[in-house]
Amino acid sequence: MKTDLDRVAQSDKQDFLDKNLGDNHIATSAANPLREDAFKLSDSEKIESIKKDVASILETLGMDLTDDSLKGTPNRVAKMFVNEIFGGLNPAKKPKASTFDNKYKYGEMLVEKNIVVYSTCEHHLLPIIGRAHVAYISNGTVVGLSKMNRIVDYYAKRPQVQERLTMQIVQELQNVLGTDDVACVIDAKHLCVNSRGIRDIESSTVTSEFGGKFKDIATKREFLDYIKLETAF
């Protein structure tokens, strides 16, 4: 079945998206929308280009970039974008997730909870801050615990929507572990909701993705019960 977007001429699709997506929390793909030439420029070249753009934005807003407090801001922001908060766009920074044989034959689910999430909303470039809870059931392979945190951090360091981030974490661990039995729940605050627009500082967004055995009601319930347990320290 064709959607409204399918019926729009290619040249008008971006205008259609701008008008119809608006502030809605909608993702158009399970992968981050990158151009084919996304890595044509080196990181240092990107920093130089972004630095000029940030300076232009601040100048347009009427800021005096000769002031001691502001003159370094364009460079700081550009370096932050490329090296830090959007560093997960660069596949060269993808964490190497070493796996090991499950020689001790642990057959229950393993849950890594309360993984800190720092991401950025791709609609307004404002922070997403929360916690991820990730679990898997080994089919003969295990992964180092810290690698689960690193995978969350890698996919979070992009312009994101929370639904996509949740799916990407599960898909990556499924590929690493060679099993569908992976689950992820994320509970996060979006500053595009908390600090602008409706400015609801209390609300948070919860997303989930359940693969393989985690689609079973009893297994899903067990995972969710583990999340509710008090952390030891």
Residues with active-site annotation: 121-124, 162, 190, 192
In angstroms, rounded to a whole number, what is the distance separating the alpha carbons of residues 32 and 156?
11
In angstroms, rounded to a whole number, what is the distance separating the alpha carbons of residues 83 and 60?
25
Residue 86: Cβ within 10 Å count: 19
Specify the amino acid at residue 220: K
CA trace torsion 221, 224, 228, 230 (10° rounding): 100
In angstroms, rounded to a whole number, what is the distance separating the alpha carbons of residues 207 and 175?
21
Q: Under a CB-based contact definition with an 8 Å cutoff, are residues 96 and 144 in contact?
A: no
Distance of CA 202 to the CA centre of its chain: 21
